[in-house]
Structure 1
């Protein structure tokens, strides 16, 4: 039977439409069974959030003096010594051998040309004769939070031991610290491209509230540090027991040096701007009333705790005024026989790991009792770890976050590797000051 032309056209169109539908349906289904969607692209693990920071080495690009000195180089990490005298090449050689690269305050007799010639740096409280590009920053003053207190009262111009300090004169209510900071900063050279640095003490850490301490930390400086000598200071321990509710056995611990950094980071964030925070660690027995000197393992632990909590530099208190061996040059003479090797060792680690330390840390909670810092550099992850303020010696298990593949875990500077099972590994810490640095590679 002959099919009418209109009906024939309709059949052709229906057949073509069916073929198109089949082809499209097959494309949607892929090679799997009909109705099963093809797997989409693999989803990567969520990125770890960064820890807030000041910007690392790039921060120093804000200041012509530090930029010209090379402090923007990721391989540089500031390691200073407090209030030295540099007269001879032997002085410089001993300091460099200990891993020092910066003098934080100097005697007026120091040879600035010698410092400059040796590629060292200085942060001083005033221009010293012959100073030049080696002087990268100005020191406003030391511990005004303690000896002058939080307040805007008048200042006599005296320093501790020279007579009355504040106006009005009330030895039980020293309240002119902000005036001291402003006055001394105003005396320094202006607009010369150098940042301003100050060191504080127990006032900021223990005695003052956030509002009072925050003014010291935020209103006058571009670089800041805080010293409380937990391992050695008799009075710091008493103050911490009274004000911070420490137990007596909680004072002499490496983890407390990390708490100093935490306190400064909290205060530093109050104004919405961040600056590098430096650690301050003793190398001897700082005060006559102190009952003990810091030990080598304690010193290294104090430095590492500071770094783990975000310290962007280290300064060593080089004076020892207690005990049988007293010195203002501990790292150069016999008084430093026990601690100098420890200083040199941890400084060598800092220098070798500077490119890692100068990266932004990543947030991850590895559990209670352990302090950690996680970084990524050069295709590897680096985990710095030690017992925290609420922890102690013993074994700890580290469960790595998604996105940190662990084919191998190496304990740096210990010549050992640690087995990984199910994305986790366990290691032990012999003392409260023991730290491990793990390099984690896929």
Structure 2
């Protein structure tokens, strides 16, 4: 079955050449449908096209139309192209043409299309005037073809319109073209497909209808595994494969009523059991295979799968989460696994405050003293805490809105191909990490506002650079080129899956990627993306970065284990690991639905945003970077700017950034080495103002948590910052309740 994956667009505007970014999540075999609209105001010269992306195949060619010839009217030309994605697609696609009064370009990506013969029937074309954009009927020859309707109007922005029964893939604007689609279950005539616009356009419209052919059939995955036993414990190693896709789920039925995704299982009694593996691929096809295993006690010893304290138990969970101690035989798998509410509380050591050492640390804001532009921006001050936005829009009123929401850095900024201007950004007191397409002259025009260079985004995953060694070399060369400018600016890069320590940047090479730059960030959207959570759960470092366990490509636990603020804490700790605590880490947090198309993807809630931020800071994040781009059809393309007030996004970001900055002088000091117990994540600060500060979360759990404070503290009352309440200390301890897993309480105690 063909399914829509994602879309991208370049909005209506004047330009020479038109470039659109690759839709999110595109993989080899996907089919992209491009609709390009070019317009001239002279009513004489029809726009022309001189070059198209490599591999693009024309479906509607040079469709020229002058709605009404006469003074002040326009001449337009349109094209529709398809392209079968390869294994190394570029990050953007360019259609080359002379300068035009306006261009508009959309691209929609589809999966499940027959890559060898993607078009089921040639596109129909139609044009006219009025308020109904009617594409002529096409007659499909294959069941379950995807009908793609492509409309254009010369007098009205038509983003979001769709024929009845169709789904718009162009939700935002301004755009004079729109794409919508629908599955035709039974082959035959589609009938005329019509969308209605507001008003009556006497200038003119066009409408095309293209049918994509579904793949002839998905090859199911091939299940396979080997199994060994030790005592009562069986351990499996998956050898499953998929001939035409990827395996997204591996589940074992252990033959005793237990089914899960773990790679080992301890039985209650000796005997022979049948283990059945079920694997599911990215097209929802499954494969199964079964094998027998015999387990027995060894020398009279009986080993259990889980322990709580000194008590042996089997398959115990707290809520939906596994308990803290997991064993294979006598080997403890995850000694630091944080669990849900109800687990016995470790109440801390009570060691004297004066005896506590500092955690390993990159040095705080004074780290920025090396770069004069960062110093000029005040980034070396303990009162400065970076809230960046990834590829913010530096014009059209965006900077003022972002600044009011607490943003003070652009990690990259959208630059029109016709040239960019940073004056609006600078006037809003926002600083820029400039990416490579900003010119030296544009940077020089606002020199004080450009504090660094954003060199690359997820370069460790970008196969267009070649293998892992070539990707690392490319980043090192980019850094060398930027540093050669000797202009007082630091270099920065953002990383993705490399931080997980799995298939990208293998064998610890992520340390070398991190060392190539002066500042790094990490982006994995655990609250909103099931695919991200799947990749996280099969990292050998999940959930304990200090005790990696090989998972043989299979995830551990269940999806909900990673859908919490604790995962952002873990990601920040992972990135600190690769940076050797020698450089500041900024952690990405999504502000809506970050261009996700997989089943189960969600929009983050304001409470989850706050939880992700505080968990990252508790883990040692020196900055937060917002990913505001969105495709949930509610909060707009730029969710911080476009979201309705009712969503609460801007309100949350504004208040949250204010809270963080109010505590920046505390946060920007080294944390103390001290454990408040495995049932919570905490950060202990002693900034020298006569108080001790404890930042705490129970994530991924909830409920009551007890804290044993360090010795030598005279205060008998805890002030809970920003909550207008206090808690009494008794016998060196206090307790508090965490209602939601994303709740963070900040405690202040007089020393």
Shorter-chain TM-score: what band? 0.7 to 0.9
Which residue of 462, 467, 481 maps to 1:147? Answer: 462
1:437 aligns with 2:743: no
- Out of 185, 188, 204, the position equivalent to 2:499 is 204
- The secondary structure found in structure 1 opposite 2:355 is coil
Structure 2 match to 1:176: 470
Contact 1:406/1:423 (8 A) holds in 2: no
* Contact 2:388/2:411 (<8 A) preserved: yes
- SS in structure 2 opposite 1:331? helix
Task: Specify whether residues 63 and 166 from structure 1 end up closer, same or farther in structure 2 by C-alpha distance, changes over 3 A only.
Answer: closer
Q: CA RMSD in A?
A: 2.0
2:510 is the counterpart of 1:216: no
**CA offsets 1:286-314 (integer angstroms, 9 cap, x no match):** 12226211111111000000000000011
Counterparts of 1:312-391 in structure 2, within 5 Å, are 312-321=622-631, 323-325=632-634, 327-334=636-643, 337-377=647-687, 378-388=689-699
Q: Which residue of 1 aligns with 2:708?
A: 399
Query: Which structure is higher in helix share?
Result: 1
Match of 2:486 among 185, 191, 213: 191
Determine helix, strand or coil for the equivalent of 1:176. helix
Asked if 1 retains the 8 angstrom alpha-carbon contact of 2:501 and 2:508, the reply is no
Question: Shift in Å at residue 210 of structure 1?
Answer: 5.2
**What does residue 79 of structure 1 align with?**
387
1:95 aligns with 2:402: yes
**Higher-RCO chain (CA-CA 8 Å, sequence separation at least 6):** 1
Partner of residue 236, structure 1: 532
Which residue of 1 is the match for residue 265 of structure 2? none
Q: Which residue of 2 is the match for residue 263 of structure 1?
A: 574
Structure 1 residues 414 and 181: alpha-carbon distance in aligned structure 2, compared to 1, 3 A threshold: same
Q: In 2 relative to 1, CA 117–382 (structure 1 residues): closer, same or farther, beyond 3 Å? A: same
In structure 2, what is the equivalent of residue 136 of structure 1?
451
CA distance in 1, matches of 2:637, 2:480: 29
* Cα 1:368–1:176 shift into 2, 3 Å: same
What SS is found at the alignment partner of 1:300? helix
1: CA distance, partners of 2:370 / 2:697: 34
> Partner of 1:304: helix, strand, or coil?
helix
Higher percent of residues as strand: 2
Tell me the secondary structure at the aligned position of residue 447 of structure 2. Answer: coil
Matches of 1:297 and 1:367, distance apart in 2: 24
Q: Does the residue aligned with 1:421 lie in a helix, a strand or coil?
A: coil
Q: 1:241 to 1:183 in 2, by over 3 A?
A: same
The SS at the match of 1:341 is: helix
Contact (CA 8 Å) 2:635, 2:643: kept in 1 or not? no
Partner of 1:297: 607
1:187 CA displacement: 4.3
| Structure 1 residue 235: Cα displacement | 1.2
Aligned to 1:105: 412
Taking the aligned partners of 1:335 and 1:210, their CA distance within structure 2 comes to 45
Deviation at 1:266, TM superposition (A): 1.3
Gaps of 5+ in 1: 1-43, 149-164, 168-172
2:641 aligned counterpart, secondary structure = coil
* Residues 393 and 399 in structure 2, CA contact (< 8 A), matched pair in contact too: no
Conserved 8 A contact 1:57-1:358: yes
Q: Is the 8 A contact 2:590 2:628 kept in 1?
A: yes
**Aligned equivalents of 2:354, 2:394: Cα separation in 1:** 51
| Equivalent residues of 1:166, 1:175 under 8 A apart | no
Instruction: Give, in whole Å, the separation in 2 of the partners of 1:266 and 1:54.
Output: 12
User: For the residues of structure 2 that align with 1:300 and 1:326, how far apart are their CA atoms?
Assistant: 18
1:284 and 1:335 in contact (8 A); partners too: no
- Partners of 1:112 and 1:132 within 8 A in 2: no
Taking structure 1 as reference, are residues 223 and 434 closer, same or farther at Cα in structure 2, changes over 3 Å only?
same
In structure 1, which of residues 409, 426, 429 is the aligned counterpart of residue 718 of structure 2? 409
- Unaligned residue ranges in structure 2 (runs of 5+): 1-351, 543-555
Once residues 45 and 430 of structure 1 are traced to their aligned partners in structure 2, the CA distance between those partners, rounded to angstroms, is 29
1:120 & 1:204 partners in 2: Cα distance?
Answer: 28
C-alpha change, 1:380 and 1:70, in structure 2 (3 Å) is same
Contact between 1:300 and 1:346, CA under 8 Å: does it hold in 2?
Answer: yes
Q: Distance in 2 between matches of 1:241 and 1:360?
A: 30
Contact preservation (8 Å) 2:613, 2:624: yes
Output one character per residue of 1:92-129: Cα deviation in whole Å (capped at 9) or x when no partner: 22112111111111012453223223322111113441
Alignment of 1:54 onto 2:362? yes
Q: In 2, Cα distance between the equivalents of 1:235 and 1:81?
A: 23
Return the alpha-carbon distance in structure 1 between the equivalents of residues 508 and 737 of structure 2. Answer: 40
| Count of residues paired in the alignment | 370
Structure-2 separation of matches of 1:147 and 1:325: 31
**Deviation string, structure 1 residues 181-236 (Cα, Å, up to 9, x no partner):** 13433443621111110000012224244522111111x11001111100011211
Closer/same/farther in 2, CA of residues 235 and 175 from structure 1, 3 Å limit: farther
Asked if structure 1 preserves the Cα contact closer than 8 Å seen for 2:520 and 2:583, the reply is yes
245-254 vs 407-416, which moves further: 245-254
In structure 2, distance between residues paired with 1:101 and 1:240 = 30
Q: 1:328 to 1:112 in 2, by over 3 A?
A: same
Output one character per residue of 1:325-356: Cα deviation in whole Å (capped at 9) or x when no partner.
Answer: 36431101126733222222211111111111
Report the alpha carbon displacement of residue 83 of structure 1 after superposing the two structures with TM: 0.5
